[in-house]
Structure 1
Amino acid sequence: MSTSPVVEAARRRTFAIISHPDAGKTTLTENLLLAGGAIRAAGAVRARGENRRTRSDWMKIERERGISVSASVMTFDHDGLMFNLLDTPGHEDFSEDTYRTLTAADAAVMVLDAAKGIEPQTLKLFEVCRLRDIPIVTFINKMDREAQDPFALLDEIGSKLALDPAPLFWPAGSGGRFKGMLDLRTQKFQPYAKRGAEPDDGHPAAVAFGGNAVDRFLDPDERAELEEASMLVTEASKPFDPQAFLEGHMTPVFFGSALRHFGVDELLAGLGAYAPPPKAVAAAKSGEPTHVVPGDPEVTGFVFKVQANMDPNHR
């Protein structure tokens, strides 16, 4: 059964992932593909053997050096939506490819290393997004390692990026003390499985923070500390406003560990709920200014990248 172009366009979510090198961008890409059901096992950039075979880093130099050199596009259906994921190079030597790719994105996920915060290349790429009016979703990665204070990270986002950070989750500790995160909207606690478990085992199911079940994962002091922190952040932060996000004034903040596939499902759900579908784009037709609107009967495409003399499978 055919679907109208208007309906089909409305279910598209095209987003790029931007970050400083080694913040975990490509690992997050792999785990988003896993969360979306596009692959069965996520590769890891720093892993060995088959586990290192990431889908986005397909060039020989990328596999040898563990970095993204060329932008790549991956498409998958999930929860009734079609996601177009644009993985971009983080290293500044290949940033021109990233700038081109961002012309095709409707939203961006900014990945921050929880221990390092906003780094120089992240700041440069954010400015490109701002020039193009691309709304930003923030994912604070590597919470399973020692991290900065979450309040300090939010302050840095507000001061350096002039964005209002709106955390949708709040972490319980970091590094060896990382126990999971609290959904500030539903007051459910998502426990984190310690590093001894295999990633395929997954993480325990979320439990009500106000119930007794959470005592299996948090001791009384940790529970009281998380309760106090969640109250403080709720009072200090502006509530998440989807319209302010789309206008580029606010960024929803997610926490997790891409390597351990923690917080990735929540991030994907957030992208589906808040990232915008394709919008009308200014163009010229027969020399006259016009707009190309999603759902137009005429086929229109924007070519943002051309590859030559490479593997034909990637053309």
Structure 2
Amino acid sequence: MRFDSILITDWSGGGDRGPRPVKDAIWAGLARADGGRDAPVYLRNRAVAEDWIATTLARERAAGRRVLAGFDFPFGYPAGFAARVLGRADPLALWDWFATELPPGRGAAEEPCRFALAGRLNGLFPGIGPFWFNGRREDVPGLPRKGNARQGHGMAERRLADSRAKGAFPCWQMGGAGAVGSQAMTGQAALARLRRRFGADLAVWPFQPCDRAGIVLAEVWPSLLGRAVVPEPGEVKDAAQVRLLAAALVGMQAVGHLADLLTTAPEVAKAEEGWILGLGTEDSLTRALLSPSGRAAAGLGSAPMTCEDTVND
């Protein structure tokens, strides 16, 4: 499996972050196997991000380029969750369910939606939980504010991938520093809409065979690069993360190791939990970033762009 383009997106489950590029928002970066690259792009809300990602993928495919698209949020939940919600252990059906429940949100008015959904989901489980965290003043029915208030819900706290990724957060925490609960819900909903748009030309790793797809979606985690993520002067860290991880994966492909990453995942990951691309190969990723191909794909410093700067490219 060889890719011409690698697109990395750092997702956010929150609302609109305004027109000026800021941290802890949605950022995307694209690098190409031929050494070309696009400057990291700031995407102010989920609706804008979905439109930009779909347009970018369509552009790359129209140019005959095969794309690996990585997204920084969990692609699945601990084993047993989908079956409790849907009656079957089908992670992609769960994506479709989230897409129905969580349309893309542009502003603060949509913010309660994901918390209310977490509370409703908790009602499907015995005891209290598994979801938790509510940063709003008013209580959300069924959603405890603190993790230690949960009990007897019957779900594992972490996926296998999360237990092996040092510093990874469980997908049950809906907010707070480092939490990924809101990103997982809203991100899976967004990817379900991408799947509908691109049909058989798109596959999801590790849930589906990916050898013939023109677009392959994969879960990524820029923290695998550790201290190698060094922003350029004036660069937002999120922008540096997508730029450098895309470059590292270009470097991995240049030395022949990227295909290996895409053919290896534990059975529980392939069945329903998902897996972080590159997990367990952190040293190799860093070396790939520092290789000639990785350095070329990382490029030189430039001011961050916004989606308005690139949408007509």
Structure with greater strand percent: 1
Q: TM-score, normalised by structure 2?
A: 0.27
Q: TM-score, normalised by structure 1?
A: 0.27
Structure with greater helix percent: 2
**RCO greater where, 1 or 2, for CA within 8 Å and sep 6 or more?**
2
Q: Pick the structure with greater CA Rg.
A: 1
